[in-house]
Homo-oligomer: A and B are copies of this chain.
Amino acid sequence: MKFKAIIHIMPRPEILDPQGKATLHGLHNLGFSQVEQVRIGKQVEITVEADDAESARASLEEACRKLLANPVIEQFRFELTEA
């Protein structure tokens, strides 16, 4: 079975996000003064072959921890759908 996952990876709330801060300043400079906070993360779309949803979920968890996210400074969650 084929599964499609959308993985959301964001900097942990207690971690400073310099990319978000820079973008916030950029938006203010462009006149978007009503923007108050910006945090920037990654979105990864993955297609994976697995026997069932449970094993797809397990290998995605491992892939996130080993390569896609840095668990020290980032948190991740994903949505899994059958493709």
Contacts and interface: CB of A to CB of B under 8 A. Distances in A.
A34 B10 contact: no
The quantity of this chain's copies bound in the complex is 2
Interface in A1-59: 2, 8-10, 20, 23, 26-27, 30, 32, 34-50, 59
A67 B23 contact: yes
A30 B37 CA distance: 36
A33 to B, nearest CB: 9
Contact of A38 (B27, B34, B46, B49): B46
A44 B63 CA distance: 22
A68 interface: yes
A8 B43 contact: yes
